[in-house]
Structure formats: C-alpha cells, structure tokens
Amino acid sequence: MAARRIPLLLSRSFTSSSPTLFSRGRDSSLCRAAAAAAASCGYSTASSAAAAAEDPITPPVKVDYTQLLINGQFVDSASGKTFPTLDPRTGDVITHVAEGEAEDVNRAVSAARKAFDEGPWPRMTAYERSKIILRFADLLERHNDEIAALETWDNGKPFEQSAQTEVPMTTRLFRYYAGWADKIQGLTAPADGPYHVQTLHEPIGVAGQIIPWNFPLLMFAWKVGPALACGNTIVLKTAEQTPLSALYVSKLLHEAGLPPGVLNIVSGYGPTAGAALASHMEVDKLAFTGSTTTGKIVLQLAAKSNLKPVTLELGGKSPFIVCEDADVDKAAELAHYALFFNQGQCCCAGSRTFVHESVYDQFVEKANALAMKRVVGDPFKGGIQQGPQIDSEQFEKILKYIRSGVDGGAKLETGGERLGAKGYYIKPTVFTGVKDDMLIAKDEIFGPVQSILKYK
C-alpha cells in the first residue's frame, strides 16, 4: 500500500504553503552553492525547456564511496572490475564503481550470515536497535543536501525534489521504522482444550534486497528500514544506473553504530550480482522492486534454489479516470502530475488517462497547455520540473513508444521528441485519440508520455 501512495505524499509536500517544508533545501549551503553555480552559468529560474541545451551545472558534491560494502568495510570487487555510472544530463561518466559478481555476493552473504548467527544485532534489545536507527536518521538530516546532490547527479531528478522531499522522506521513514523496533510482538490465542497457544515474531535471517533506479533512496529506506527494525541482516544490490547514494548513506549508518556485516551493499548488474543473490542458498528472504519481466526471473530463481519467500513490487499501467462531473481544471493538474512526476519514471504513474466525452475537449486543451508549460532542463537549476531520463536505453525505449503511437493513429498533440542535442531529455508528450489496443495504452512506457482516451 505504501508504494501506491507515493505520488499523493509527494504532492502534499510540493503543494503545501508551509515554508518549513522547503527551508532545508532552499536555505542550505549546498542549495546556495547550486544557485551560485546556476547564476555563474547565466541561468535564471524563469528560463524554459531550452535550458537542457545549456552547459550543465557542476554538482555541489564529490563522490567518496565507489567500492562494495562488505562486513563493514569498503572493498574492491573480487575480480577488480568496475563499471561506469553516468550523468543523465550529458551521458558522461561520473565515476567508476566496483562491479560485484557471484563471488562478491558470496562474500556479502557470508558476512551477513555470520552477523546474524553470531553477531549482536539480532540479540541486542529492540530499544538499542531503535537508537542506532534514530542516530542514522539524524545523520541523514545533517547530510540532507549532499545526499540529494548525489541522487540528482546519478538519477537526473530535480534537485529540489531530492532535497526538499525525497531525502527528508527517507529520514522520516527510518524514524518511523525505528519506532516499530520495540513494538513488534506476538500474541496468545484461546484454544479448544487445555492448551497454551502463543505466536512469536522473530527475525527471519539474511534478507536479500534488490532496488530499482527510479527512487534509489526511498527504495533503500523501504527495504532496509523494516529489515533492520526486525533484527535481520541484509545484502542489498543497488541498480547499476544509480549506486552512489546507497553507498553514501550506508557509511552514515555505520557511523551511527551499526555492527559490521549487518548491512552489505553490492553494486553490479542483474544477470550476475542480482541472479547470484536471488538464487543464493543462504539468503532467507528476498525483496525485489523493478520490472515485471525481471520479477518473474527473480521469483523463478528463488523457487529453484531454497524456495525462499519473495516480496515483489513490479510495474503498472494505472488508469486515471476523469468523470463528467469533475472539476476539469483540477483534474487536468492532477493527471499531469500523476503522469509527469519524476520524468514519468514511476511504477504507479497515472499513465492511462480516461476522460468522459462530455469534458474531453476541454480536458485535452488544458492538458496540452500544462505539458507545453512544463520546464525541462538541468535538474540542479532552480525551478526545473523535469530532468533527463535515466539513461540511453530508457531514452530510446520512450522514443520508440512515441513513434508507435504516431504510427498507430493516435494524435500527437505536443512534444514527441528529444530536447537538445546532449543528454537524455524528452519533451513532455501528450497523445489524444488513443485506443485500448495501442501499445501506448497497454505497455508501461516509464516516461513523460500522457495517453488520453475518451470514454462514454
């Protein structure tokens, strides 16, 4: 349920008039540095989508952690191999990160197993665990803007979104799960006869976790937070597109007092590191967020190994329905946000917009106007609403779907092409006259493409 509520939670943060929601990102030294960098490049907050063509702002942060985290130490991969993580604004290499493979997953799982079987984490009181998680939340808050800058640099989402909403939400989530640590309890149940019936909740053991690239920090929090609160140990594989923020915050978690081996981070690719983790015989529980296609593979690997329980959060093609009595202005704004938020890279995006025929023309006019006004550009620049897509693969996939919409007979109202000659920017795109059998109505595009369908 939490996953499906993220657009609502974020919209409340962005639309609230309370200045306290924005004070951290706006007033901090890193935000001031970003603003100064923007000014030195000749940017203004009033500039339009053409900003994507200008020279990118230098991110106000440096990359310190690029190795694997195993047993409390940052180490190279066993093979010594690395892979590049790219800046979506340009396609240029940010840095090279250690490439974990099966041998590294084995090392990480061994460390997590020893930490669970012999270490203090599952044996310390729940209150002590909660204090460590709370100290970690305080460190997240203290380093809010460094973390946000890494997230934006590696992912392409607007810095204001990272600094003012997503990192604070990550902090809040860890405080929430810290509060649960000493409130997990079993029960005694009535029985027929002279029997004592009792349930006891215990940590399951080594939790394997695989997170996606669209919300790296929030997915880290949703996976790591509850597992730690319950006393488990963890091996987490980051998405190969976005490894940087998880490595940074994991260092902070150890500063907060997390024992070695409790949290291990392996960066790498799905077919190697991900497959090794999903099929590992010493992993007791697996959680995966990502595409439906990959989710099927993960479930199969888990079943063929030790039949470990698996939690999956996969893709979607969610409908957004506008009824004939709706406030069309408000409906158009909400539908726009539901689709274009986070560059359209959201599993619960409202990516099929159904509009009643009586208000269809009016809605389409407003939807087009909102898309054309949307400010696309360097995500480190103030006032930017949409940054680049995550990488060239996703960029080309989205453009392919746009071409299929045109070829299939839908009307391209606005957008439909890349913005600028560098980076992975795509103009906000609106299709009308969409039919149920078109690919743009059936497939998860995962990009800034709004498909509007008319219904009676």
Annotated catalytic sites, by residue? Answer: 313
* Amino acid, res. 183: K
Of 88, 52, 152, residue with least CA distance to 421: 52
Q: On the CB side of 74, how many CA atoms lie within 13 Å of its CA?
A: 14
Q: Is residue 279 within 8 Å of 255, Cβ to Cβ? A: no
- CB neighbours of residue 271 within 10 Å: 11
Secondary structure of the chain in HEC code, one letter for each residue: CCHHHHHHHHHHHHHCCCHHHCHHHHHCHHHHHHHHHHHHCCCCCCCCHHHHHCCCCCCCCCCCCCCEEECCEEECCCCCCEEEEECCCCCCEEEEEECECHHHHHHHHHHHHHHHHCCCCCCCCHHHHHHHHHHHHHHHHHCHHHHHHHHHHHHCCCHHHHHHHHHHHHHHHHHHHHHHHHHCCCEEECCCCCCCEEECCCCCCEEEEECCCCCHHHHHHHHHHHHHHCCCEEEEEECCCCCHHHHHHHHHHHHCCCCCCCEEEEEECHHHHHHHHHCCCCCCEEEEECCHHHHHHHHHHHHHCCCCCEEEECCCCCEEEECCCCCHHHHHHHHHHHHHHHHHCCCCCCCEEEEECCCHHHHHHHHHHHHHHCCECCCCCCCCCECCCCCHHHHHHHHHHHHHHHHCCCEEEECCCECCCCCCCECCEEEECCCCCCHHHHCCCCCCEEEEEEEC
Q: How far apart are CA 60 and CA 101, in angstroms?
A: 32
Under 8 Å between Cβ of 7 and 15: no
Residue of 49, 45, 157 lying closest to 420 (CA atoms): 49
